Chains A and B, each alone.
Chain A
Amino acid sequence: MPVEIELFGQLAPGVKRRQSLTLERPMNAREVAILVGLHPDEIGLIAIDGAQSELEDPVPPDCRLCFFPPVSGG
C-alpha cells in the first residue's frame, strides 16, 4: 500500500522530510509515525489528504500523510 509522507518543522531532524513508503499492512497514523522514526508525543498536528486527523485514524492507500509539530495560530 503506497503512501506519501511529509514531515514539517523541527520533527525528527535527521529523518528525510519527504518519503514514499509502501506499507505492508493497513496502519493508522500512529503506526506510520513510529515507522518513520517519530515519537507520537512529538506530533502536534496530522493531516491525511489535507484533512486534520488523529493518531488512531487509518491511513488509506495512496494518501498523503503529513506530520507537524505542535503549532498554534498566529
Chain B
Amino acid sequence: MKLLRVDMSQLQAHWEPVPAVYERLAGRALIAKLLLEEIPATCDALGPHNKLIITPGLLGGAIVTTAGRLSIGGKSPLTGGVKEANAGGTAGDNLGKLGIKAIVIEGQARRGGLHLLHLKGETAELLPAEDLRGLGTYATSDRLQEKYGAGCTVISIGQAGEYLMTGASIAVTGEKDQRSNHAARGGLGAVMGSKGLKAIVVDKAAGKVIPFADLALFKTASQAFSRKLIDDPKLGLQGSQHLYGTASIVAAVNEIGSLPTRNFSNGNFEGYENLKGEHLREVTLEREGKVGTRCMAGCTIACRNQYVDEAGEPIVATLQYETIALVGSNLGLDDLDKVAVLNHMCNDFGLDTIETGAALGVALEAGLAQFGDFEGILALLKQVGEGTVLGRLLGCGAVTTGRVLGVRRVPATLGQAMPGYDPRSLKGNGVLYATSPQGADHTAGNAFGARKEVNPLAVQGQKELSLRLQIIAAMLDSTGLCLFARPPVIADPQLMVDMINGIYGWGWTKEDLDRFNREVLRNELEFNRRAGITAADYRIPEYMREEPLAPHNAVFDIPDADLDTVFEKL
C-alpha cells in the first residue's frame, strides 16, 4: 500500500511507502495515530500545521458488505481535539482498491487559492479550481463528474467549508448520480477549506482488486458476516432499518422521552407521528420515491431513501433520523417535506445537519424566529450559504451561536452539538457525550436500543456500558464498517479477525483486535490531553444537570466521579 502526501503550500503531491508505524492501521485508528505522530496538538485547527487525513478502513476495497466507508479526520476546529467522521459512497472502496492507505493534506494554499486534487491511476495532480468557488456540493459534484466521468468519486466542500465555518462537512458521491454522503461531524469541511482544497476527484478503480493473504479464509468470514446481517431482525430485508431507514427509531426515541424537541427543552414531540419512519415510508412510496436503497455497493442493510415532493420530484436523498430529530422536532417542525428542504440546503452548503439543527434551535430560543416557523428557519439557513454575518455565526455551530446570542441552554459537549438523543433520559449517551474523545457524537458508541443491560434512566451501569460501546465503535470506524453492522460483530468478533487475517495475513487473535480497538481510544485521549482538553471541557452542560426534562422529569445525574473513571479499565 502507499500513502499520498499533498503539500498545499507548495502545491505538490507525492507518493510514499506507508511508514511502518502506520502499516497495520487504517480509518479512525490511522487518524488517531497520525495526529499523535505528526500534528502539534496545540496547533490552530484551521492553520497550516493541522492535516486532513482521508483514509478507507482496514476492509476498504475488499468488497465486504457495509465496509466501504471513508474516514476523514484531523484536529477539529469545533472540539479542539481529535476528529474522525466517516461517510458512505464510493470513495472508501475506490481508495482501498487503488491500494491507497491514506491521502494526507498538509500545509495551506497561499493567498486563499482554491484547488482540486485529481487522482488518476498512479498520478496525483493539483489543479486550479477557482471556477468552483462559491458552488454548493451538488453543483460541484455535477460539474466534476461531467468533466471527469460519471464513474469518478468526488469528495467536496460547499460554501460552508470555503467560509471556514466550523459546522462544515465534507460530501462524498456514491454510485450513479448519488450525492450527499457526508463526513459531517466536527467541522472537517472547514479544515479542507482552510487548506484551499475544494474537491478531490478519484477516478474509478476499474478492474482493480486488492491482494488477499488467504482468500478462502476471507471469503468464508465475509460470507458468514453478510449472512448474519441478512438474518439480523433489525437489519435484514424484513428489519426496521431496511424498511423504514434510520427514521425507524423516531417513535421509539420519542416514546422513551429522549427526542430533542424545541432546543432540547422536552423529550417528547407532539408532532412525532408525522416524522416517524412508518410515515416516511408511506409518503415516499405513495409519491413514487425510493426506499431501501444503498449508500455503498453491495450493502445488505440498504437503509437509504430518496424523499420526493408531492409531484414526485426528488428533494433529498437520504432523509435520516439525526436530521429529522435536529432539524425537525428540535426546531418544532412536524412536516417531513420541510425537513427535507432544510436537509437539502445543509447538504448543498456542506453543513453538518446535527450541528446546524442545534445551532438553529439555539437561534430560535434567542428569538430569531419561532419554533415551527418554517419560513423563518429557512431564511436563517439561507444566510449560511450567503455568508452573511448571521449566517457565518450559525454555520459555526451551536456553541458559537449560543455565545453570541446570549443563550445559555446550548446542547453541546466539547464544543460540538449533541445528536438526536437527550442525555437526560438516555444517560448512556450522556456518558458518551461527556467522555468520548470525539465529543458529543453518537457514532462513537450509541447506547440507544441497548436492551436487558442498563435502564436508560438509571445511573448504574452506564459507564461500563459506554466503555464497551466506545471500544466497539473504534473498531467499526477503523475497519470501514457502518455502525449498523455492530450486532454481528459483537456476537462473533472472530468474523472480523478472520476477515482481517484473510486480507493481510497478520495472524491476529480476538485479543489482538481488542487491543487494537482500545489503542485507538488511548491515542485519541492522549492527543486531546496534549491539546489541553480537560475533564471540564467534556462535561454535560450545567443546565442539563439542573433542569428536569419532560416527560420523565429527568436530569443528567451521572456523578463526575463515574465520568472521570470511564476509561480506567481501557
List chain A positions with a Cβ less than 8 A from chain B.
8-10, 42, 44-45, 47, 50-52, 54, 66, 68-74
CB distance from A65 to the nearest CB of B (A): 10
Q: List 15 interface pairs A-B (beta carbons < 8 Å), by A numbering.
A: A8-B251, A9-B248, A9-B251, A10-B239, A10-B243, A50-B255, A52-B455, A69-B233, A71-B248, A72-B234, A72-B235, A72-B486, A73-B446, A73-B447, A74-B321
CB distance from A26 to the nearest CB of B (A): 22
Q: Are A51 and B442 CB-contacts (below 8 A) given A73-B449, A74-B247?
A: no
Q: Which 9 residue pairs of A and B lie closest in terms of their CB atoms, listed nearest first?
A: A74-B321, A74-B246, A73-B446, A73-B448, A70-B234, A70-B233, A47-B255, A72-B449, A68-B252
Complex CA–CA separation, A47 to B451 (angstroms): 11
Residues of A within 8 A of B239 (CB): 10, 69-70
CB pair A73–B249 under 8 Å, yes or no, is: yes
Complex CA–CA separation, A51 to B255 (angstroms): 8
- Pick from A42, A69, A73: contact of B421, CB below 8 A: A73
Complex CA–CA separation, A60 to B249 (angstroms): 25
Query: A interface, by DSSP: helix, strand, loop or mixed?
Result: loop
Q: Does B238 contact A (CB under 8 A)?
A: yes
Residues of B within 8 A of A47 (CB): 252, 255-256
CB distance from A70 to the nearest CB of B (A): 4
Complex CA–CA separation, A66 to B250 (angstroms): 13
CB distance from A23 to the nearest CB of B (A): 20
Nearest to B321 among chain A residues (CB) is A74
Complex CA–CA separation, A10 to B251 (angstroms): 13
Query: B interface, by DSSP: helix, strand, loop or mixed?
Result: loop
Contact with A along B241-273 (1 / 0, CB 8 A): 101101111011001110000000000100000
Residues of B within 8 A of A72 (CB): 234-235, 241, 249, 446, 448-449, 484, 486-487
CB distance from B116 to the nearest CB of A (A): 33
Q: A45-B449, A47-B255, A71-B234 are in contact. List 9 more A-B contacts (CB 8 A).
A: A8-B251, A8-B278, A9-B240, A10-B239, A70-B449, A72-B449, A73-B421, A73-B447, A74-B247
Q: Does B133 contact A (CB under 8 A)?
A: no
CB pair A71–B552 under 8 Å, yes or no, is: no
Residues of B within 8 A of A44 (CB): 233-234, 240, 449, 451
Nearest to B241 among chain A residues (CB) is A72
Complex CA–CA separation, A51 to B277 (angstroms): 21
Complex CA–CA separation, A48 to B243 (angstroms): 25
List chain B positions with a Cβ less than 8 A from chain A.
232-235, 238-241, 243-244, 246-249, 251-252, 255-257, 268, 276-278, 320-322, 420-421, 442, 446-449, 451-452, 455-457, 483-484, 486-487, 551-552
Complex CA–CA separation, A54 to B450 (angstroms): 12
Complex CA–CA separation, A51 to B447 (angstroms): 15
Nearest to B421 among chain A residues (CB) is A73
Residues of A within 8 A of B240 (CB): 9-10, 44, 69-71
CB distance from A5 to the nearest CB of B (A): 13
Complex CA–CA separation, A74 to B321 (angstroms): 6
CB distance from B11 to the nearest CB of A (A): 40
Complex CA–CA separation, A71 to B321 (angstroms): 12
CB pair A51–B552 under 8 Å, yes or no, is: yes
CB distance from A73 to the nearest CB of B (A): 4
CB distance from B201 to the nearest CB of A (A): 30
Residues of B within 8 A of A66 (CB): 251, 255
Residues of A within 8 A of B255 (CB): 47, 50, 66, 68
Residues of B within 8 A of A74 (CB): 246-247, 249, 320-322, 420, 442
CB distance from A11 to the nearest CB of B (A): 10
Residues of B within 8 A of A71 (CB): 234, 240-241, 248-249, 252, 449
Complex CA–CA separation, A36 to B321 (angstroms): 29
Residues of A within 8 A of B486 (CB): 72
Nearest to B443 among chain A residues (CB) is A73
CB distance from A15 to the nearest CB of B (A): 14
Nearest to B250 among chain A residues (CB) is A74
CB distance from A12 to the nearest CB of B (A): 13
Complex CA–CA separation, A9 to B442 (angstroms): 23
CB distance from B260 to the nearest CB of A (A): 13
Complex CA–CA separation, A52 to B246 (angstroms): 19
Complex CA–CA separation, A51 to B252 (angstroms): 11
Residues of B within 8 A of A51 (CB): 256, 455, 457, 552
CB distance from A62 to the nearest CB of B (A): 15
CB pair B456–A52 under 8 Å, yes or no, is: yes
Nearest to A51 among chain B residues (CB) is B457
